[in-house]
């Protein structure tokens, strides 16, 4: 079977330069772009809703000092599309969305700005549900929450889930075990050498799980003190950041920067498995994903193995229960195995296999929308009352 890219129905259509926003929407099947402007608060934000076939679009809000509006638009479109696939492959009844606020997260944060943003989110009536992302804090999300109920990742004191990193890390741990099962015929990490890039919250929790099972950890981080503290805690080995790629290990676990599997690092790799919590691990998916397959390296697609964070905040929508979220994150093990088997059976890279399986679920569930449900879309509207009251 040949490599199949993510479905792009307008790939060969001629773009109309007079409509750049609509071209951006159509290039990856996005449903909606919402431009949010409030001069009084200084808010400049973009909300992108990619696909709501499976349910409301859930995805975090990122605050970043983008150089141009075009850069912000490209980022929010890319991120929202990724959330659709993450939710679909994780078995969640959610679509994909994302928001970006243009501004310096170190200088431009105010209560009125985030409350204004919350009003825009609320105005979408639940089509988009937001959460915390890069450049945002729990305090920021509290201000958003004061204006809308369509927000997750709020502090536990307010009935939310708080820090999602424990659930994210557990999903990464289970995904790494699934890869080990595929590579070695056993999912035990005892005695396995793991190169861990990063010493943040997700990396630290993963390290504790792996160390408890008897793995041998080699740890690096650009912040030396963090890496040293984690290394001492789990009995690992401290490694300089520029040496982490070339270690002769069983598993490489990136939990920091994106784009780290690239032309410069590919030839350095001496591992059997790449399974980590970082986003956008492959610098160029269709190039570097294929190269990993050709080298015989098992790659756990990043948006699948790190889906514990999404699973965690999604749990708030049904009444948060950490144990239930951990159980759902544990199922990442089975999802990764399904992807690895599909990849092997069809001789395609794992990221392509994952995309195909996600698209299949969206298409299958989407067919049920042909069946009218009593919770229908016209509830409380005059049209439905008219139909009901006819004699």
- 63-93 pLDDT, tens digit per residue, is 999 999 999 998 999 889 999 999 999 999 9
20-83+94-158 — its CATH code?
3.40.50.10860
Task: Give 272's pLDDT tier (boundaries 50, 70, 90).
Answer: very high
Is 165-362 in the same CATH topology as 20-83+94-158? yes
Mean pLDDT, the chain, as a whole number? 89
Give me the sheet containing 237-238, strands edge to edge: 237-238, 216-220, 193-197, 251-254, 273-274, 298-299
Query: How far out from the chain centre does Cα 290 lie?
Result: 21
Domain positions in the chain are 20-83+94-158, 165-362
pLDDT, tens digit (0-9, with 9 covering 90-100), for 35-73? 999 999 999 999 999 999 999 999 999 999 999 999 999
274: Cα separation from own chain's centroid = 17
Tell whether domain 165-362 is in CATH 1.10.1580.10. no
* Predicted pLDDT of residue 310: 94
Q: Locate tokens 């520029």: which residue? A: 242
302, 339 Cβ separation under 8 angstroms = no
Phi, then psi, of 261 in degrees rounded to 5: -95, 100
Catalytic annotation, residues: 98
Cβ neighbors of 21 (< 8 A, separation 6 or more) are: 33
pTM: 0.83
Residue 37, pLDDT score: 97
| Number of Cβ atoms within 10 Å of the Cβ of 311 | 27
Across residues 2-16, what is the average pLDDT? 44
**Cβ neighbours of residue 168 under 8 Å, at least 6 residues apart?**
202, 205, 277, 306, 308, 309, 312, 329
| Sequence-ordered list of residues with C-beta below 8 angstroms from that of 69, at least 6 positions apart, any chain | 102
pLDDT band at 28 (very low <50, low <70, confident <90, very high): low
Give the closest residue to 211 by CA, choosing from 187, 241, 235: 235
Backbone φ and ψ of 147, nearest 5°: -115, -10
Length of the chain: 391
């Amino acid at each position: 079977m040949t490599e199949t890219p993510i479905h792009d129905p307008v790939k060969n259509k001629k773009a109309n330069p007079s409509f750049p926003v609509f071209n951006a929407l159509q290039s990856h099947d996005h449903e909606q772009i919402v431009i949010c402007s409030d001069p009084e608060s200084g808010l400049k934000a973009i909300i992108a809703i990619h696909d709501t076939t499976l349910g409301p679009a859930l995805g975090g809000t990122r605050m970043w000092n983008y150089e141009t509006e075009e850069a912000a638009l490209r980022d929010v479109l890319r991120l929202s599309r990724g959330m659709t696939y993450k939710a679909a492959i994780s078995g969640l009844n959610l679509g994909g969305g994302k928001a970006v606020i243009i501004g310096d997260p170190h200088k431009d944060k105010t209560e009125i700005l985030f409350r204004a943003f919350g009003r825009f989110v609320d105005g979408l009536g639940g089509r988009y549900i937001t959460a915390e992302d890069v450049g945002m804090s729990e305090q920021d999300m509290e201000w958003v929450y004061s204006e809308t109920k369509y927000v997750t990742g709020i502090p536990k004191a307010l009935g939310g889930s708080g820090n999602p990193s424990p659930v994210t890390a557990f999903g990464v741990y289970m995904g790494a075990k699934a890869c080990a099962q595929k590579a070695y015929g056993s999912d035990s990490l005892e005695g396995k050498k793991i190169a861990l890039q990063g010493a943040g919250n997700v990396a630290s929790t993963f390290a504790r799980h792996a160390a408890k099972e008897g793995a041998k950890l080699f740890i690096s981080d650009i912040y030396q003190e963090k890496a040293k503290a984690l290394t001492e805690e789990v009995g690992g080995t401290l490694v300089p950041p520029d040496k982490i790629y070339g270690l002769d290990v069983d598993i490489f676990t990136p939990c920091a920067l994106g784009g780290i599997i690239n032309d410069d690092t590919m030839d350095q790799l001496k591992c059997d498995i790449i399974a980590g919590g970082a986003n956008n691990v492959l610098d160029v998916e269709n190039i570097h994903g294929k190269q990993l397959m050709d080298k015989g390296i098992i790659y756990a697609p990043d948006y699948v193995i790190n889906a514990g964070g999404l699973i965690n905040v999604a749990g708030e929508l049904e009444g948060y229960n950490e144990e239930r979220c951990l159980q759902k994150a544990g199922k990442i093990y089975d999802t990764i195995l399904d992807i690895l088997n599909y990849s092997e059976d069809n001789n395609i890279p794992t990221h392509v296999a994952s995309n195909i399986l996600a698209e299949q679920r969206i298409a299958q569930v989407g067919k049920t929308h042909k069946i009218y449900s009593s919770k229908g879309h016209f509830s409380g509207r005059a049209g439905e009352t008219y139909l009901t009251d006819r004699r």
